[in-house]
Homo-oligomer: A and B are copies of this chain.
Amino acid sequence: MSARATSEPHGVLTVICPDRPGIIAALGSFFAERGANIVEAQQHSELASAKFFCRFEFEPRGARAAELRREFAPVADQFAMEWRLTFTDRPKRMAVFVSKYDHCLLDLIWRQRAGEIYAEIPLVISNHPDLRPIVEGFGIRFEHVPITPETKIAQEQHELALLAEEQVDFVVLARYMQVLSPVFLARYPMRVINVHHGLLPSFPGARPYEQARERGVKVIGATAHYATEELDDGPIIEQDVVPVTHRDTAADLIRKGRDVERIVLARAVRAHVEDRVLLDGRRTVVFV
């Protein structure tokens, strides 16, 4: 993976289109003609859907984003491409939703501070007031938005207003114990990342560790996925596991699980931030 601490910002072009000969030639020529240097190129041809996916990261060498976008449009049309062209001089803006658990939140903040996640965190929203001091201690805006069945619709509108105000690009649910409504999700399609503390499709819903212990599994895990209307059913970005034994109590599973949750979520957020995640129906193509 490429470092972001380079002098010149990089450009990233992602493309999804029907697979056919000539796509790589067209993309390669587009950059070559403009003197741009490709530093990382990844491609995937999905046989089942006959779709082509790629991600090109390039040094623009003077080429400007607006120009490139305008000039790329005809190429895209020719191949019926869905595409996206971003530049790394504008870090994405991420809002984090939490409840009471702080481990995923603190980990994201630490990684962002350490330069592992190239994004800004202008806003943390919680349905509980508990984490306010920690969040504000980092100089990040904290908004307490309590949710009840009666207030949910109105409060989500309030949250959307906060996100708009802070120009948020995507949302991370860092062990947020609320389900977002379809209305909310429609405003951030494939831009809400959730971490589930189970290895989906095993143990969806609440209490996955208790379920895991009851079933007597020998491996537990965590899943980072895009939130969709169907609970714990969205496209999976990242998963990982940790072995467990009969010795592990419910408390041990929670402890071991926390380490996996943090790592899985961090990897997913990093991949999203760097435009490495493309959608193939219900699956993801992740170019790492």
Contacts and interface: CB of A to CB of B under 8 A. Distances in A.
A29 B25 contact: yes
A24 B21 contact: no
A106 B110 contact: yes
A219 B282 CA distance: 16
Contacts of A245: 286
Given A37-B20, A245-B286, A236 B263 contact: no
A5 B26 CA distance: 29
A279 to B, nearest CB: 10
A217 B241 contact: no
Copies of this protein in the assembly total 4
Interface string A116-154: 100000000000000000000100000000000000000
A1 B239 contact: no
A45 B59 CA distance: 12
A36 interface: yes
| Chain A interface size range | 35 or more
Nearest to A241: B241
Chain A contact surface mostly: mixed
A26 B259 CA distance: 40
Nearest to A220: B239
B28 A249 contact: no
Interface string A242-284: 0101111101100100110001000000000000000010111
A282 B214 contact: yes
B110 A114 contact: no
Contact of A1 (B213, B214, B249): B249
A90 B128 CA distance: 34
Interface stretch (A65-73, A91-99, A158-166, A200-208): A200-208
A192 to B, nearest CB: 17
A202 B217 CA distance: 11
Given A43-B41, A45-B40, A199-B219, A283 B246 contact: yes
A263 to B, nearest CB: 6
A17 interface: no
A156 interface: no
A218 interface: yes
A246 B44 contact: yes
A33 to B, nearest CB: 8
Going nearest first, the 10 A-B pairs with the smallest beta carbon separation are A216-B283, A25-B28, A24-B28, A25-B32, A218-B239, A22-B32, A28-B28, A246-B285, A25-B29, A202-B202
